[in-house]
Homo-oligomer: A and B are copies of this chain.
């Protein structure tokens, strides 16, 4: 049994810290999923989901992990043998690609060094070269949670448009949605993939697909086998505020509250908050004399920061030191950066002092684990955080 003498610091880049209001909203008697009270809830969460995706087109909510929502994007729109263009931005791009392989897609996987976003020029070149329009979809990860590098979906859309290519644009914004600007409609995304446990501030258990009319038309014509993930039946039921199966009622009750909270704060304010915390974190990393995993200054994620440990120092040993001494969970390095990188999540229900506790824990952990670094990262972060406008920020009318 673990004895927590205060709050655990859950500073992995998801699941994120769930607000009490959301947990309490889930902690209510479950509902008749076919009754009128549920329908009110159904309509409310579907409408608010559209607002956070910034879309007027359908949003599908699955009882699933984010990996389920990836699979849903694939099985609705693509059939075995279809060619797709993907970009190796990091582990989550690798995993999504793995699903594409399992469904026998023909994946063109643009290689990457896990320290940048997707190479837009390379994507564009592939599209231009594909005169026969064999590429059915371009799949990118908006916020690569394994590295902390962004790929701007709008730039991919522009590349598609410049190439005059009809492929679908599919975007994994699992750790992007609710954490940073996202414009499903304005950016011309065809399928947006998201999950509950990141910027949406919920426990894991819900997956999302936002889909364009174009994607729906493709799906309608797609003979591939699918049932659970099939968009069409869900959309039909959703018109009545309900679902074709027993939905995860209590997670939806939490989603309703979480989306309400994001709107109370204001989506723009939420995103600004995360950007600010990301800047403060990078200031600390720089002061420590360490590198961020993201090597492109334009691509730093507002959601998390990957930090590279000096050669010869094991990031997982460091994480263990932090967990055991300071009751804080940090994100591990995944796959080929395992042991080299740790990740600090700074999204979800989060504020300046939680960030300072987090960074202090990292700085003390570096010392305890004998990782070479300069002290004072916390001071650098404080310089960022205290440089704010005169107006107080925690109060709204």
Interface residues of A (CB under 8 A from B): 1-10, 12, 14-15, 17-21, 23-24, 26-37, 63-68, 71, 80, 98-99, 102-104, 195, 197, 203-205, 225-228, 230, 244-251, 261, 264-265, 270, 273, 323-329, 332, 349-358, 360-361, 363-364, 367-368, 375-376, 378-379, 382, 385-386, 388, 392-397
* Min CB gap A6→B, angstroms: 3
Chain B residue with Cβ nearest A28: B20
Chain B CB within 10 Å — which of A28, A227, A265 has the most?
A227
Is B228's CB under 8 angstroms from A4's CB?
Answer: no
Bound: A30/B20 CA distance, A: 11
Is A64's CB under 8 angstroms from B67's CB?
Answer: no
Is A349's CB under 8 angstroms from B64's CB?
Answer: no
* Min CB gap A367→B, angstroms: 5
Is B66's CB under 8 angstroms from A64's CB?
Answer: no
Contact partners of A67 in chain B: CB under 8 A: 227-228, 244-245
Is A326's CB under 8 angstroms from B352's CB?
Answer: yes
Total copies of the chain: 4
* Min CB gap A84→B, angstroms: 15
Contact partners of A328 in chain B: CB under 8 A: 353
Bound: A17/B88 CA distance, A: 44
Bound: A2/B40 CA distance, A: 10
Q: CB < 8 Å: which of B29, B360, B361, B385 contacts A8?
A: B29
25 pairs of residues in contact across A and B, judged by CB atoms under 8 Å: A6-B352, A7-B351, A12-B34, A15-B246, A18-B29, A20-B29, A21-B28, A27-B27, A63-B64, A65-B247, A71-B227, A203-B249, A205-B248, A248-B248, A251-B251, A323-B394, A324-B394, A326-B394, A327-B352, A328-B353, A352-B364, A353-B360, A356-B361, A360-B382, A378-B379
